[in-house]
Amino acid sequence: MENLVNKLASYYKDKKVFITGHTGFKGAWLCAVLNKLNAQIKGYALKSEYENSLFNIIESSINIESIIADIRDKERLQKEIATFQPDYIFHLAAQPLVRRSYEIPAETFDINVVGTANVLEAVIKLEEKCTVIIITTDKVYENKEDNSILYKEEDMLGGYDPYSTSKACVELVASSSRNSFFNLKNFDAHQKAITTVRAGNVIGGGDWNKDRIIPDIIRSLKNNQPIEVRNPNAVRPWQHVLEPLSGYLLLGGVLNDDVQKFSKPYNFGPLPNDHLSVKDLVEDAVKIWGSGKWKDVSNLNEPHEAGYLKLSIERAQKELNWQPKLNAQQAIEWSINWYKQPHEMQAAYTFQQINNYFAL
């Protein structure tokens, strides 16, 4: 795996990397990894909702220019991108929660779809070469709720809930921009490469979002309360956050080198036989924590959430030579162990887990 570190460093060392959503869970982990690779990082996002967020924990330990602003502020966003002239853009800023999207559907579309259009319009105005990686979700597919299906990148896009549909729309916005402004036939003229990436259910330390399984588990365990579990038999492509991030970074590097070959969507998830139910994840988490109980609080009147969702990662395996390094049980163990650390040790433990991951 050390070869991957060297390869990623060859792509990102001293390069300018602009990250939207850098204060979020995945964004903060991405900042930490890019800091290890000695990239020049500029982040653009709203202030974290949580005082103990991962970004707040690690900010003083990384070299980053942090801009606190809204992705919907097109003029400010364009100004910050233009003054930075990035080599790479990783677009993660989003309203990322399914259940919240039922409460604020229009705002979810505004943030996710218009926000993405704002980023891509800013890219049009860039004068230098730039490679753009747009992070969507495994939920962009028209889900047939069939446990035997592994969704491939060319499968039909869809989405039941506002969040999933908004992210499917993001895929269309990216495709439209690539055709209209960044057409591969004219790459030598515009020098812009665009791709989208779709990851499974990402877990790891430092996530405090409501209605996400690991944060919900941790809050209940710390308060000695039963873990309330919705849809315990639902099956998901669980993966530690470092897995898709390594894939995003690898794809960004090879896309920058060969836009004709890699300018297309990629899935990143676990191996086909490594999808767990919610119940299995909760029971593993309780075992690793050392105590705790859970109860089924499923309610037929609750907003719809998919029962089955699995991804095919064959394209990433074959074309990028990318493989997950942690199985689902290890991903759960790494996640729970992060939360077991004292607050003052969590920053150091984050960087330790990054080093451990790249040493696999």
57-86 residue pLDDT tens:
999 999 999 999 999 999 999 999 999 999
Q: How many CB atoms lie within 10 A of CB 306?
A: 18
SS3 5: helix
Report whether pLDDT(38) > 60: yes
| Domains of the chain: total | 1
Letter for the amino acid at 84? F
Residue 305 confidence (pLDDT): 67
Token couple for 192: 């812009």
Q: Which helix (H) or strand (E) holds 224?
A: none
Q: Which residues pair with 134 in a beta bridge?
A: 91, 196
The Cα–Cα gap between 164 and 302 comes to: 17
Q: What average pLDDT does this structure show over 248-272?
A: 97
Residue 1 confidence (pLDDT): 44
CATH of the domain at 205: 3.40.50.720
Q: What average pLDDT does this structure show over 173-191?
A: 96
Q: What average pLDDT does this structure show over 243-272?
A: 97
The Cα–Cα gap between 87 and 193 comes to: 11
* pLDDT band (50, 70, 90) for residue 303: confident
- Which domain does 260 fall in, by range? 2-359
Tokens 């060297």, residue? 6
The Cα–Cα gap between 169 and 355 comes to: 36
* pLDDT band (50, 70, 90) for residue 304: low
Report whether pLDDT(325) > 50: yes
Report whether pLDDT(6) > 80: yes
Token couple for 296: 């089924």
